[in-house]
Amino acid sequence: MDEFASIRHWTSGRQSESWQRERGVRLGIGDDAALVDPAAPIAGVASPYEFIMAMDTMVETVHFNEVTMTYEDIGYKALAANVSDIAAMGGVPLQALVSVSVPRQLGPEPMRRLYDGLYACAEQYGVAVIGGDTTSSPQHLVVAVTVTGAVEAGKALRRSGAKPGDAVVLTGPVGKSAAGLHSLLAQRERGADALAGERAAAQLVQAHRRPSPSVRAGRLLLARGTCHSLNDVSDGLASEAWEIAEASGLAVSLFDRQLPRSGSMAAYAGAAGIDPLEWMLYGGEDYVLLGTMEHGDAAAMQAAFHAEGLPFYIIGETSAGTPTVELIRVTDRGELRQPLAKRGYNHFE
């Protein structure tokens, strides 16, 4: 069972929508974040703003190890991944709670460095760290973060709003984080001297260790009122496109030639003799935003993004039909339609 099947097996049908609604819930399990009306359950009146809540956990050996991340990076990225879930709803991040489960042999200084990184991210995105928990752990470090945000009531951008004929848009290049991870693991195996495309690799390592959640892009997408659906690219482009396809009940086509390739990723992949498409489709952890809107609105949105100095790409389109995701490649033999698997990237296997 994959993660989503497991979650459905464990949680679906347990609490009715109306029961949850009485407790202030406006959107429950199944999107990047949940939405609650903070005033409704007690005051009985609707608030003009909804509270956004998300939770994301990083586990040693699953999401990082001593080669791929410093302790500062672990703290930074644990919060950044959560802030990205707020960005994916079009919201403003506000507060965070942090639970660390600390291996007994780890002294206080590595944890101090972890919090250095976490607070650096908090300052970058204006997040108040307000609580959490500290426990010991038998062996591995686990960092669970809960983040809150605010969004204008009823305006949050969900996965489920895509319409057939929409343009598929992306707010930045994908695959850099996976390429950075590749270079870190290659460095370990072959030694730093053998490292291909060294200067490019440094940028990619930075992208892997210190990702930038797309809060400004999310707010801009929400403000114009034309974005139909939105996800952040945490599990990989293919996986996120699948989520929009399934939640909205339609097919997604991505055009190979329109996928943005970052210069540093292309340079590194070229030097290493690797086709970067796997990183771009399945890499994840790039924390750019993937959305859909009408074609005309996409062109206007692109102009608005460029006016703000932000990247914006139109990379595909949606169509009525069974939920699926395909990549369209133009080759010598004509147009090839390649179905994309609904999988994420398994970092260490």
Cβ distance to a copy of itself smaller for residue 12 or 258: 12
Q: How far is residue 223's CA from residue 234's CA, in Å, rounded to a whole number?
A: 23
Closest distance to a copy of itself from the beta carbon of 67 (Å): 16
Which tokens go with 80?
A: 């950044």
Give the length of the chain: 349
In the DSSP assignment, the letter for residue 258 is: G
Among 46, 66, 139, 306, interactor with a copy of itself by CB under 8 A? 139
Q: What angle do CA 62, 108, 73 make, to 5 degrees?
A: 40
- Report the site for a copy of itself in 44-73 (rule: CB under 8 A): 47-49, 51, 53-63
Query: In the bound complex, what is the minimum distance in angstroms from residue 290's beta carbon to a copy of itself?
Result: 19
Which residue lies nearer to a copy of itself by CB, 27 or 327? 27
Q: How far is the CB of 109 from a copy of itself (least distance, A)?
A: 9
**CB distance 80 to 212 below 8 Å:** yes
Of residues 238-277, those binding a copy of itself (CB under 8 A):
none
- How many residues form the binding site for a copy of itself (CB under 8 A)? 75
The pair of three-digit structure tokens given for residue 318, joined into one six-digit string:
């949606």
Q: State which of positions 82-101 bind a copy of itself (CB under 8 A).
A: 92, 94-95, 97-99, 101
| Burial of 43: CB neighbours in 10 Å, binned 0-12, 13-18, 19+ | exposed
Nearer to a copy of itself, 140 or 306 (CB): 140
Of 131-139, 178-186, 208-216, 322-330: span binding a copy of itself (CB under 8 A): 131-139
- Which positions from 143 to 172 touch a copy of itself by CB under 8 A, shown as an x/- string? -x-x-x-x----------------------
> Is residue 184 near a copy of itself by the rule CB under 8 A?
no
Return the number of the residue (57 or 324) whose C-beta is nearest a copy of itself.
Answer: 57
Q: How far is CA 297 from CA 98, 231, 260, 294, 314, in A?
A: 39, 18, 20, 5, 11
Alpha helices in 227-337 (DSSP H): 237-248, 263-272, 277-282, 295-307
